[in-house]
A and B are shown apart, each in its own frame.
Chain A
Amino acid sequence: MRNRLIFLAGALVAVLALSSALRAQDAARPGSMPDISGVWLVEKFNPILFPNGGAPLQPWAEKKLKATNPQTNDPNLACLPEGVPRFMISVPYPMEIIQGPTRVFIIHEGTSVLRQIHMGRQHPKDLDPTYAGDSVGKWEGDTLIVDTIGFNDKTWLDGGGIPHTEALHVVERIRRTDHDTLVDEFTIDDRMAYTKPITARQVYKLKPDWEIHEYVCEENNKYTYQKK
């Protein structure tokens, strides 16, 4: 965990150092891409995707969901990252989007995960599974299409405990609908866990005066975690 924090601290320093250069490059090419940069916060905190049940789960996944308990075995109780897509959908902390010509960075205050969206490249082969997966992006008009694979199976899809496997595949359509509003539409599929793709939508509001704060979950975590 300590190594992860040291890596993140280093990565964030590098990102912040790069951001001014990246912005300068973008500024030199006005209109080259839509601007979705800034600090954003979910408009409404929706911790659970299916509050009334009905998630399209295969029998093993349904059984696993029933065995979950958010009070005892949410991996986040151990300060493990929520991962993608959960931290984009159901985490009530702000995120900052920094755009560059070859990558879009998302720094999330509450998850200690730096998300990189690689623009204009394909997914590498033989990906090592990770919490955030491997994201590639392209612009279609005013919409950023993000395709993410390469996940580990250590995260929940939401705060309710919907499971997934390493076959998880997330496609996002991110669009700034007005100056203060960003919308992310998710199509979430996992042929090993779901009977059909799950769709979700999250709306974020711009927080022009906010900056991302340090958040070290391990500092004073009083919650206990029982792995299942």
Chain B
Amino acid sequence: MRNSLLVFPATAIYLLLSLGESTPAHHGFVSWYDMSRSVTVKGTVTSFEWTNPHTYIYLDVKNEKGAVEKWIIELGAPGMLARVGWRRDSLKPGDEITTTGNPAKDGKPTLHLSKIVLANGQELSTAL
């Protein structure tokens, strides 16, 4: 099911950054994401799933050629995120956001989130 969701090539610009430790998940993000790298992706929220076992942000991202890529941003469980300030209405469709996190090892356009910056400049982290 997961792989079927990730059908778009990852061609967004990667910016290498250092990362804090984010809230890990029950399925072991370590095996899916390259925890040694960090990328930043800007885009428009199309959906926000505040669900267990993981929370998801679906993002439309314009690449260098102007085409829209569908990105999936994966976070931990709502219970853990709520402890660091996240709420079920932290995001809504249409929000312009900047996300930073670990890229998928297989190169698909998905990210394990460590930090988000909202359009108004507010930051939300996933670090405890």
Contact = CB atoms under 8 A, between A and B. Distances in A.
Interface of A: 41, 45, 47, 70-71, 74, 76-77, 79, 82, 91-93, 109-110, 159, 210, 213-217, 219-224
Interface in B7-40: 23-28, 30-32
Interface in B80-97: 80, 82-83
Given A213-B78, A220-B52, 10 more contacts: A47-B30, A71-B32, A74-B28, A214-B52, A215-B79, A217-B26, A220-B56, A222-B1, A222-B5, A222-B56
A159 B29 CA distance: 11
B79 A213 contact: yes
B98 to A, nearest CB: 24
Nearest to A212: B79
Interface residues of B, number: 26
B28 A214 contact: no
Contact of B79 (A74, A82, A91, A109): A109
B53 A70 contact: no
Contacts of A222: 1-2, 5, 54, 56
A91 B27 CA distance: 10
Given A222-B5, A224-B2, A215 B53 contact: yes
A79 B53 contact: yes
Contacts of B2: 222-224
A92 B28 CA distance: 10
A223 B24 contact: no
Contacts of A214: 52, 79
Contact of B26 (A76, A213, A220, A224): A76
Given A110-B26, A213-B79, A71 B52 contact: no
B51 A91 contact: no
B77 interface: yes
A77 B52 contact: no
B24 A92 contact: yes
Contacts of A223: 1-2, 27
Contacts of A79: 53
Contact of B54 (A76, A210, A216, A220): A220
B23 A92 contact: yes
B69 interface: no
Contacts of B5: 222
Nearest to B74: A222
B30 A217 contact: no
Nearest to B24: A92
Nearest to B52: A219
B51 A220 contact: yes
B26 to A, nearest CB: 5
14 contacts: A70-B30, A74-B28, A76-B28, A92-B25, A93-B26, A93-B77, A93-B79, A210-B83, A213-B78, A213-B79, A215-B53, A215-B77, A223-B1, A224-B2
